[in-house]
Structure 1
Amino acid sequence: MKEHLFDSFNSLNTALAEAIEKDLSTQLKTSANVSIAVSGGKTPIALYERLSMADLAWQNVTITLTDERWLPNHHPDSNERMVKQYLINNKAAAARFIPLKTPSNTAEDGQESLDKTLGNKLPSVDFVVLGMGADGHFASLFPHTIALEQGLDAQSSLKCIAACAPVEPKERISLTLSMLLTAKKIYLLISGDDKLAVYRRASQLDSDDRLSLPISAVLTQSDVPVELYWSPASR
């Protein structure tokens, strides 16, 4: 596993944006289209602002989310809203976007139709920008939750799963580990000494511990390379 450790959040975002741009550009030389799943929240905003200015054939790029809060897409906490504001903007405005939020009333009701949509429109992803919480969760796969074991099944045919977060908004939809592992590379973006310590601990765990620290399922698998991008703080 490659680790890229930076002194500042600014230098981290510059380097990661350049790395993603290079990987997308390289993939586009041999493929008509390229896809990337990106995380929500506040941490990747600066990264997305930089990436949105990349000189790429964005019309041939498909973007989706690693997970979504089950909220209207205009809600301030919507990941879709954030990604459209900061990433699918500037030069990247030409990119295609596949949302995870559907018109269904609940994530559980929407899971089946979304799974079919992803199967038809995006059966795999080329690259993933993944975040991690201080509790070791990634996407919306949280420790000791009902959906976790199924969400972490690397052999599952499910591409997404309804999930429940321990904090509001609790209702979520998440890509499954099996879907994320269709990627050619996963970039793990974290900041702060606390998350670095969680990352270090999770890297040493075996499969029996993944229900406590879900990110260990990503870090200890050997099918898809994971590259860590870390800085001391995001602000």
Structure 2
Amino acid sequence: MNLRLIFMSFAFACLMDAATSTQVVASTIVFDLEDQAQTGFNDGALTSLTLTRQGLSMTITRPGSPNQFDIYDVTDIGNPTFPASWGVRSISPWFSNDGTAFVANFSKPVQSVSIDMGDFGGDPDDLFIEAYSELDATGTLLDSVTSQLQGGGGDWTAATLRVSVATPSIRSIRFMGGTERFETPIGVFRVPNSVYYDNFAVVVPEPASLSLLGVGIASLSVFAIRRRQRRT
């Protein structure tokens, strides 16, 4: 077999693999809120927030009533154990701490989503995140994860919750963290949405077949150029 035939066979194989390959190359996009202006601790300045990175848009809302929230610098509270990974911006639900969960919609299907949820440890917080096949937390429930932040202290505690699926089909998520019953010397409080949210990490797969297609086309192009050069 001569070199020309080997070269053509390689290019053809790349093109065929590109047409049939199911392999993916994962790209992680992080929405960390650091470029957002602070609105306050409990001003209720926002009813919707859209962030765009690398061709993906994420829109956060709080369906129901009340539906407001804020962007807040939690380091203002002055906790000495506050981790640097949280930066100086996060989502605050403190305009209202009732049971109105957040929803995030994505402009295209994604494969996984993780969120950092944190609080200052005064009370135990129950956390959850759910992934859905359609916008606005509708359609099929694809995955769900729960966790808990331990209370009883004043230091910052946080957890990362992640939902994922085998193929990119998540169009929205629903998430919340807080406590249904927090007993104090002055009374019992219900604050089911009372933690802070940050570092939304979204995995968007890109078909590896695109790179194989590029290799195949490039190989054929090189072959065609060399063939014309030989004729002239």
The TM-score with structure 2 as length reference comes to: 0.23
Larger Rg: 2
TM-score with structure 1 setting the length: 0.23
| Higher strand fraction (1 or 2) | 2
